[in-house]
Structure 1
Amino acid sequence: MIWAVFLPFILAVFIPFFDKWRQRIHTGFIVTVAPILIFIYFARFIGTNFEPITRSYSWIPSLDINLVFHLDGLSLLFVLLISGIGALVAFYSIYYLDKSEQLGHFYVYFLLFMGSMLGVVLSDNVFVLYSFWEFTSLSSFLLIGFWNFKKESRYGALKSMLITVFGGLSLLGALVFMTILTDTTSIQEMISQHQLILNSEYFPIILTLLLLGAFTKSAQFPFHIWLPDAMEAPTPVSAYLHSATMVKAGIYLIARYSPMMSSNDWFFIIVSSVGIVTLCWGSYMAVRQTDLKGILAFSTISQLGMIMSMLGFGTKVAVFAAVFHILNHATFKGSLFMVAGIVDHETGTRDIRKLGGLMTFLPITATLALFGTFSMAGVPLPFLNGFYSKELFFDATLHLDEIANMGLVGFVKATLPYLAVFGSIFTFVYSMYFFFGTFRGKAHLDSLPKKPHEAPIGMLISPIVLVLGVIVIGLFPNMVNEPFIAHAASAIKGMEVEKHVSFWHGPLYPPLIMSITVLVFGTVLYLARKQWAPAYRFIPGVLSMNKVYDGAVDRLETYSTSITKGYMNGSLGRYVRLVLSAILIVTFAFMAVTGGFTMDFSNLAPLSLPEILVAITMVIAAVATILTNNRITAILILGVVGYGLSMLFVLFRAPDLALTQLIIETVTVALFLLVFYHLPKLRKKEEATSTRVLNLIISIGFGALMTMIAISSHSSKWFDSISSYFLEKSHSLGGGDNVVNVILVDFRGLDTLFEIVVLGIAAMAIYGLIKLPGKKEDN
């Protein structure tokens, strides 16, 4: 299993070499092979008898951080979406991106992102999951900002990374809390101890931090603002990030932790409310957009809200519907993004105000868009998979009997069906707006940068495959139910979930009545769109979360600049004072709070008169260094401190250290003398009395801190000394009786080797500088 996660990373290393051959074979063909192999490998697990599989590989066992990959129904669903749609997107990009583009960079970013997503959905170790989680933010930043020459691309990439990384740090806090409470880094073991977390006084903090991580990644209101700006990425990136990967990571996180938290009322209230508000707001704002990818961006926000709300419900019907819609959304949304890319590629614009009547010129593309948009709208037709999951969504809002009907919970339960219909009405409107505004009506050929014509077959293959998925799942929904969807739903719910999917339940079936209501009101609103469009002047009007984000970033930059200018004034003395003060305060406070200062003088050897005299000489020399007004004198006096240390080594019977110190001190003093001889005479700057007092306090405090740490480290015996091991094994393992030599040559042979290498490199550098010919002065 590990090879599947790291195959994209390994292939990414070789992409720069393959990219040199792109005139013979397009790099995209090589890249497409990786997700196809991964998809084939995992597709063999689809079946009614599938059982979870766990594979563990040692990484940092001392910290309980190992590469543990867990494959169950939920992770299998996401792995197949990541690899399957990844293969289609990679193939689509071959025909979408021009060969003049930096294809090597694109495919490296693409593979890094794919591997990161696979790591997220397969990792069972929370810290490995977090590592992959943040790597998805980094790689998506590179993908969104691929066209870095465009200001909009840079803005969108930075915006997405700032918001998602903020959520990632919140997620890390939740994972650390849960790890401490359960004493495990395994997600599955945490779930088995869910009562320990639910009953903890820290549960509100854990829930808040976890949901922040999920909401920011899955573009839930009010963190949705990064997703529309991410549309500046090339269309293959948009199709991949917003149909099967990036935005689904937050969905996956909530789904994975649902068995642990779904029984909590606040989980239901927050997740359901945020999800249903995101559905309504995203669908309402989608109708306002004029860019095809902008429409799809807000439609993605609304669809993610719908899935999130169902996970918040937590009932069997809702969980099954959520999983089913994850699959359905990936098929129709992936195809629609590719359709938008084809329209842009063949007409030169995505502005729907300039489009229209393209069915005549792009008949195949229009047909694909027809199936995709009508499935997304939930039109009740038996060959559209979107209708089934939309109807299950309505059914889930009506059957929340497992949840207590009281207080705020009861209010949320009562409003959910109405908000679901409201959001779905606008979903229908923007779906019709996308299709009919682009492919029907009068063509505006004069306003198009390019004369439209049908896309090449290579660009059509990927959306055709996805639309066939829409149709096949619509015609045979139970074909993917028992061997596939039911396993994923069971993994989320923590128990077996079975649901038979059928198109017809009778004319008075409440969800069908809700669907017909959506169809009727949606048609009216679409036809009267121009009449009610002025409503956007009032809602949202001038209010915008983008303004909040931009204002926050601007203020952050302004304040950080002013703070930086406050201490970065070019004064080396100030820099040293700040650094030492920070070390002094933080270290002293931490050591004092944790009881790190341990003073035990009982096992110290008595001091002799020679040792005391040498120490006093070193102190006098150190103080004299400060008082002297001549650089050469200061260097010579400072050398007394170094040679005094060598004398202490001799008195403490460490001749090897004494010789080393003598050599280093001699070379250092000689080098300093050579360099400082050519500098101008020392002119001490007159400083204020307060500055001198501050310097004295910092110096004494820092020296005292280092002394206390040295004594405490000698007095504290947290671990058994390794010296006895060296004494016992020096002769038998190292073949020598000089323990110090055996340690340096045998036990720490590699350390010594690299130290010698470093010294050798330094010696060659110094020799090169000495031999470097100087510039001859003009006569």
Structure 2
Amino acid sequence: MTLLHWAALSPFIAAVLIPFLYKYLKRIHTGWFVLILPLVLFVYFLSFIPRTSSGEVILNNLNWVPSLGINFDIYLDGLSLLFALLITGIGALVVLYSIYYLSKRKEKLNNFYVYLLMFMGAMLGVILSDNLIVIYVFWEVTSIASSLLISYWYTREKSIYGAQKSMFITVFGGLSMLGGFSLLYVIAGTFSIRELIANADMIMASSLFIPAMILVLLGAFTKSAQFPFHIWLPDAMEAPTPVSAYLHSATMVKAGIYLVARLTGVFGGVPEWFWIITTVGLVTLIWGSVSAVRQKDLKGILAYSTVSQLGMIMSLLGTGSAAFYFQNGDNALYMTAILAAVFHLINHATFKGSLFMAAGIIDHETGTRDIRKLGGLMTVMPITATISLIGLASMAGLPPFNGFLSKELFLTGMLNVTEYGIFNLETLGIIIPVIAWIASVFTFLYCILMFTRTFMGDLNLSKLKVKHVHEAPVGMLISPIILAALVIVFGLFPNLLAYSIIEPAMAAIAPGIISPGEVFDVHISHWHGFTPELFMTIGIIILGVLLFITFKKWENSAFYRGERDIFNSVYDSGYNGLIAGSKWITRIQMTGRLRDYFIYMSIFIIFILAYTMYHYNLPAIQSLDLSPVPIYMWLILLVFVGSVVIIPFINNRIALIIATSVSGFIVALLFVLFRAPDLALTQLLIESVSVILFMLVFYHLPKLKKVKTPPKMKIVKLIVSIGFGLMITLGSLSAFSMGQDTDFSSISEYYTENSKEEAGGYNIVNVILVDFRGMDTMLEILVVSMAVLTVVSLIKLRFKGSEDI
């Protein structure tokens, strides 16, 4: 393993150590120990800037499951470095903020920091991995860690609801994404992103291209809260504010953005990719901005603004993907969209992180986030007010802040779409800048509302839960001040990032369009003359101010009072339907009778075997030249059949055990007669253990009771028994006939040829169980071990009424 591998996995290692630090060093806030890791990682990743800015790509290989093409290969270029710096840099500021936000006396800090480090490590794994399956593994860990953080205050019903919603939606997308990854492997025969990009032409020519693309986009859209999957993000605001500032503004919600950016080299250049991403992004942009205006909770406003801003970045990646259609010529026309996406990705992390922290400070000091109860805080919280003003002005797109620059580039990218001349954009393209402009008006409006309703006016302490309101402690202000300062610095000196961070990230998104080492003229400046973008910005400000001035006339409307997103009812209905359906199925299936369970399993096996035989034109039974059967064999078989037939008619447990063991031992005898001593030994051991176990528990079993079985149930049992026996018989005969002048080859030949060479054993049965099916056997042992530990825990634990179980 290389140092980059250790860097990616170090948060998980630290997460293991946190409980011990928390237990033995209680006098010191656990966050101080956690803070060291993201700071060190941030400095470490900063050292790669000279290499990535010169066009170098770092690739470190580590075999994991090479036989399946699954390797933990670290791939560090401009795009992954940008995300690594965001994850570690914002992560360090969030940890510092959490030290003062979360009380070491009242909170379970060990849980919080374990979950946070899990998430940090998972995000680093996602953005540094070159292998799709490894990305998927880390991707799902982000969902798990996020849900744990959202439900950190697990006694609150809303926290549990938000965690469940985020888990269901993002895991659904993750499983869809896994299906897309599998289709890509079927097409190209590799899970490596680099190799997939190199074979993009072959992938596009495949009939599986569109299904793979849609499945991958489902994963990206659900993770990045794109319409209509955006509904999980506002409910995730029940998490502590440090979580919101980290996961839901700078990192987790950007994972989908990263995936789309990374795979643009595979899917970009086709109209389906362009229109799906652009349309979903624009709809998310305007829906989020309109919904943010209707919110009364500070974090609710910021949640929907995040949805809107993510839609903005996604639409830019969609329109910028047209670069892969042209492949040559002056690429400034369509690369401007990718430039805006990368730049706004950075800017959004700075101003939105500071705004979330400011909202947390207000909640911490006033006891509420409801803007209807707030007001006049500028006089008592001037620093928080200044931080909020800078962040909101940047998000609204006002100069001289960084949000103004990326918003101007956004408008330029949207206007450029009308000049592409492809994908019917000469007619439909005019809609794109119009939607972008309208959404920007609402963005400007909710920024004004958030600031004026929180900080302007008179302070009314009677509406608050505290008697005295004061500025937050210095420690809680450090992180948002740093982020607000970056908003100003990146706004005044944007070219600090131009060729060190932004251009290498653009080159990674558009490989072949911008070759490694090639410089794209970024052109980030405040003044470009009297351009259409400038007039659009002026129009946004004028209309936004007019809407704000007239806001009182329509704030009592049904539109403004409808705070809850209408798509939540769709989710709630679907969720409640699933619960009701699962209960109905459970009532039918889980009867508490072992007899019924065997019937269900047997019916399932019958249908599976019947379908398999139908699909492959089985049974393939051949007329074989069989050896004569001696008399003693018939006698043994007669005893075997008799021991099986009498079992249903026995009402004594001792007799049942004897009859069952007789049938088992006769099977072992048959193996001996057919010259399979190893198999006979295995059968003897299993049968002996079974009989011993039966006899050991015999004393503790209740007496057998004669139960009257309804005639219909007897018929069902008879049909199932006959069907099951028939399927097994036909399957066995078909398997025996395989390779005997048929189109099927027997799998037994493979085991015979490879048992000694591959597994080092002559006992084929044991080799199959231990080696060829080693993973299956290990998982079976793991399941049994988990069940044993659970039973032991339930026996030993004695819960009180107040404990959470």
TM-score in terms of structure 2 length? 0.86
- What letter matches 1:203 in structure 2? F
Match of 2:381 among 348, 362, 366: 362
Contact 2:294–2:559 (CA<8 Å) still a contact in 1? no
2:580 aligned residue? 558
Q: Distance in 1 between matches of 2:124 and 2:708?
A: 62
Give the C-alpha shift of residue 552 in structure 1: 1.2
In structure 2, relative to structure 1, the CA distance for the partners of 1:649 and 1:420 (3 Å cut) is: closer
1:300 aligned residue? 306
Deviates more, 1:7-16 or 1:271-280: 271-280
Give the C-alpha shift of residue 414 in structure 1: 0.7
In structure 2, relative to structure 1, the CA distance for the partners of 1:123 and 1:705 (3 Å cut) is: farther
**Cα deviation code 1:83-125 (max 9, x no counterpart):** 1101110111000001120100000110111111111112211
Match of 2:197 among 191, 208, 215: 191
Give the C-alpha shift of residue 135 in structure 1: 1.3
Alignment of 1:202-351 (within 5 A): 202-314=208-320, 315-351=334-370
**Cα deviation code 1:427-449 (max 9, x no counterpart):** 11111222222222211223222
1:145 aligned residue? 151
> Is 2:8 the partner of 1:5?
yes
- What letter matches 1:8 in structure 2? P
- What letter matches 1:419 in structure 2? I
Match of 1:453 among 432, 449, 470: 470
Q: SS at 1:185's partner residue? A: coil
Q: SS at 1:54's partner residue? A: strand
Q: Distance in 1 between matches of 2:358 and 2:623?
A: 78
2:93 aligned residue? 88
Q: Distance in 2 between matches of 1:725 and 1:261?
A: 41
In structure 2, relative to structure 1, the CA distance for the partners of 1:287 and 1:418 (3 Å cut) is: same
- What letter matches 1:87 in structure 2? A
> Is 2:523 the partner of 1:500?
yes
Match of 2:503 among 461, 486, 492: 486
Match of 1:30 among 23, 30, 33: 33
Give the C-alpha shift of residue 593 in structure 1: 2.9
- What letter matches 2:657 in structure 1? I
2:325 aligned residue? none
Match of 1:108 among 93, 111, 114: 114
In structure 2, relative to structure 1, the CA distance for the partners of 1:362 and 1:694 (3 Å cut) is: same
> Is 2:542 the partner of 1:525?
no
> Is 2:419 the partner of 1:396?
no
- What letter matches 2:503 in structure 1? A
Alignment of 1:599-748 (within 5 A): 607-653=629-675, 658=680, 661=683, 665=687, 668-669=690-691, 672=694, 676=698, 682-710=704-732, 715=738, 716-718=745-747, 721=750
Contact 1:405–1:413 (CA<8 Å) still a contact in 2? no
Q: Distance in 1 between matches of 2:756 and 2:273?
A: 59
In structure 2, relative to structure 1, the CA distance for the partners of 1:554 and 1:665 (3 Å cut) is: closer
Give the C-alpha shift of residue 467 in structure 1: 1.3
Contact 2:79–2:505 (CA<8 Å) still a contact in 1? yes
Match of 1:418 among 427, 434, 437: 434
**Cα deviation code 1:56-104 (max 9, x no counterpart):** 2111111111112211111111111011101110111000001120100
In structure 2, relative to structure 1, the CA distance for the partners of 1:341 and 1:720 (3 Å cut) is: same
Contact 1:276–1:420 (CA<8 Å) still a contact in 2? yes
- What letter matches 2:250 in structure 1? A
Give the C-alpha shift of residue 42 in structure 1: 1.4
Q: SS at 2:73's partner residue? A: strand
Give the C-alpha shift of residue 344 in structure 1: 1.0
Q: Distance in 1 between matches of 2:431 and 2:682?
A: 79
Q: Distance in 1 between matches of 2:217 and 2:647?
A: 58
2:448 aligned residue? 432
> Is 2:74 the partner of 1:58?
no
Deviates more, 1:701-710 or 1:675-684: 675-684
Q: Distance in 2 between matches of 1:522 and 1:663?
A: 81
Give the C-alpha shift of residue 385 in structure 1: 0.6
Q: SS at 1:70's partner residue? A: strand
Q: Distance in 2 between matches of 1:176 and 1:58?
A: 19
Q: Distance in 1 between matches of 2:123 and 2:165?
A: 20
Give the C-alpha shift of residue 688 in structure 1: 3.7
Deviates more, 1:343-352 or 1:695-704: 695-704
Deviates more, 1:217-226 or 1:658-667: 658-667
Give the C-alpha shift of residue 252 in structure 1: 1.1
In structure 2, relative to structure 1, the CA distance for the partners of 1:15 and 1:346 (3 Å cut) is: same
In structure 2, relative to structure 1, the CA distance for the partners of 1:667 and 1:285 (3 Å cut) is: closer
Q: SS at 2:417's partner residue? A: coil
Deviates more, 1:17-26 or 1:417-426: 17-26
Q: Distance in 1 between matches of 2:754 and 2:146?
A: 50
Contact 1:618–1:644 (CA<8 Å) still a contact in 2? yes
Q: Distance in 1 between matches of 2:702 and 2:454?
A: 76
Deviates more, 1:295-304 or 1:555-564: 555-564
Give the C-alpha shift of residue 681 in structure 1: 6.0
**Cα deviation code 1:339-398 (max 9, x no counterpart):** 1111111111111122122122112211111211111111122xx111000000011111
Unaligned stretches of 5+ residues in structure 1:
766-779
**Cα deviation code 1:395-452 (max 9, x no counterpart):** 1111125633564x44541111111111111111111222222222211223222211
Q: Distance in 1 between matches of 2:134 and 2:188?
A: 17
1:578 aligned residue? 600
Q: SS at 1:195's partner residue? A: helix
> Is 2:173 the partner of 1:170?
no
Give the C-alpha shift of residue 270 in structure 1: 2.0
**Cα deviation code 1:137-164 (max 9, x no counterpart):** 1110000010010011111111111111
In structure 2, relative to structure 1, the CA distance for the partners of 1:600 and 1:42 (3 Å cut) is: farther
- What letter matches 2:597 in structure 1? Y
1:42 aligned residue? 45
1:373 aligned residue? 392
Give the C-alpha shift of residue 723 in structure 1: 5.4
Contact 1:124–1:186 (CA<8 Å) still a contact in 2? yes
In structure 2, relative to structure 1, the CA distance for the partners of 1:24 and 1:606 (3 Å cut) is: farther
- What letter matches 2:54 in structure 1? N
Q: Distance in 1 between matches of 2:191 and 2:678?
A: 46
Q: Distance in 2 between matches of 1:521 and 1:574?
A: 68
In structure 2, relative to structure 1, the CA distance for the partners of 1:478 and 1:660 (3 Å cut) is: closer
Give the C-alpha shift of residue 292 in structure 1: 0.8
Give the C-alpha shift of residue 311 in structure 1: 0.8
2:486 aligned residue? 469
Contact 1:354–1:448 (CA<8 Å) still a contact in 2? yes
Match of 1:353 among 372, 379, 401: 372
Q: Distance in 2 between matches of 1:555 and 1:657?
A: 50
Q: Distance in 2 between matches of 1:97 and 1:372?
A: 23
- What letter matches 1:354 in structure 2? K
Deviates more, 1:719-728 or 1:575-584: 719-728
1:770 aligned residue? none
Q: SS at 2:409's partner residue? A: helix
Question: May I ask how many residue pairs the two structures share in their alignment?
Answer: 744
Contact 1:9–1:115 (CA<8 Å) still a contact in 2? yes
In structure 2, relative to structure 1, the CA distance for the partners of 1:463 and 1:353 (3 Å cut) is: same
TM-score in terms of structure 1 length? 0.89
Q: SS at 2:63's partner residue? A: strand
Deviates more, 1:516-525 or 1:600-609: 600-609
- What letter matches 1:40 in structure 2? V
Contact 1:54–1:71 (CA<8 Å) still a contact in 2? yes
Give the C-alpha shift of residue 676 in structure 1: 4.6
